Amino acid sequence: MNHDIDIKKLQKNCWRQSKVPGEFMIQLRVPGSCIDAKYLHVIEHIATTWGNGTFHVGARHTLNAPGVKYENIPTVNAYLEQYLIAVEKEMCGVEMDTSSGYPTIGARNIMACIGNVHCPLANVNTQEMAKKIEPLIFPSNYHVKIAVAGCPNDCAKGHFNDFGIIGIAKMDYHYERCIGCGACVDACKSHATGVLSLTEDGKVAKDTCCCVGCGECAIACPASAWTRKPQKFYRVLIGGRTGKQYPRMGRTFLNWVTEDVVLGVLKNWPKFSAWVLDYKPVYIHGGHLIDRAGYNKFKELILEGVELNPEAQVAQRIFWTETEYRAQINVKPLSEHPPAGPQA
């Protein structure tokens, strides 16, 4: 391995070290997991000109070109300038220096499902939301992973990100349109939380306490007796993560909040991260920063200056459930265990 190569500096520049000494992989951020198809030529050109001829769609929906030699990195960074201007500056309104590639790796690629530009299940436009989030958290030296899902099916896996933003809907029930077929009741029972039931007069009753805002009732109804209200709402999950030692699923922090609330919270994230880390950026999962601060302090700082809408619900407390893999005490190394005896 060439010890003259500053691996950490390259990581910050969105380059990833290969198992082959002197080779690296560039990661192109794709905010909201959606860009104009014409930009696919960028990753193709990098892969065929400087890489090994292949490209990899990253687990966070990045476009990656492996096999780039260290000496070609400055050339690739210069080539990327027009892509960064088009995708980050023009598409998302991000202010950043584009002359030497990505300025930071902080605020990882914002993932999103296809949303309601295509999917009939989606309640919100996930791509537009991702574009609005992007300039709030990128570029930044403070690490955070965010996913936006169009509905509680959570195809974007928001439950396993520092912030999972899920589009939900308040529903209108049009009594006069209902034909009492029970399609919505069956859909809610099989796909959601079973809060709907048929009444004696052949109409539908709803227990609003447990509605998750999925909109399955509107999709199932043949008479449009259920429709989504025009105003968009979101559920915000926090603290989810994968990993070897402490994987865990995120928990609901905010429910039935508007877009303004979501954006206000994420605008506060860099300030919260800086406070927790004593203004010294370290590559740490956002969930760990919440753990360090404690939920109450996190809630205080992240909601500072945020005006909650009347429907908003905020978790009073959160109890994490996580798997912990810890070494057992006084367990002999495998080499010290006697071989297994003959099987009976």
CATH of residue 285's domain is: 3.30.413.10
* Confidence check: pLDDT of 324 > 80: no
Report if residue 53 sits inside a domain: yes
Contacts of 294 (CB under 8 A, 6+ apart): none
Query: Domain range holding 274?
Result: 111-169+232-314
Which pLDDT score, from 0 to 100, does residue 267 have?
97
Q: Cα 266–270–274 angle (5° rounding)? A: 145
Q: How far separated are the first and last CA of the chain, in Å rounded?
A: 51
For the chain, the average pLDDT equals 92
Dihedral over alpha carbons 104, 110, 111, 116 (to 10 degrees): -150
pLDDT tens digits for range 163-206 = 999 999 999 999 999 999 999 999 999 989 999 999 999 999 99
Residue 23 and residue 70 in contact, taking contact as beta carbons nearer than 8 Å = yes
Place of tokens 């080539």: 79
E strands of the chain, at which residues? 15-17, 23-28, 56-57, 63-69, 111-112, 146-149, 163-168, 171-173, 196-198, 204-206, 226-228, 233-238, 251-257, 313-314
* Confidence check: pLDDT of 329 > 80: no
Report if residue 99 sits inside a domain: no
Q: Which helix (H) or strand (E) holds 200?
A: none
Residue 158 and residue 150 in contact, taking contact as beta carbons nearer than 8 Å = no
* Three-class SS state of 314: strand
Higher pLDDT, 209 or 321: 209
Outline where 50-162 has alpha helix (H).
Answer: 73-79, 81-84, 92, 126-137
Residue 239 and residue 285 in contact, taking contact as beta carbons nearer than 8 Å = no
* Confidence check: pLDDT of 123 > 50: yes
Domain match, 151 and 175 both: no
Report if residue 105 sits inside a domain: no
Domain match, 192 and 67 both: no
Q: How many domains does the chain divide into?
A: 3
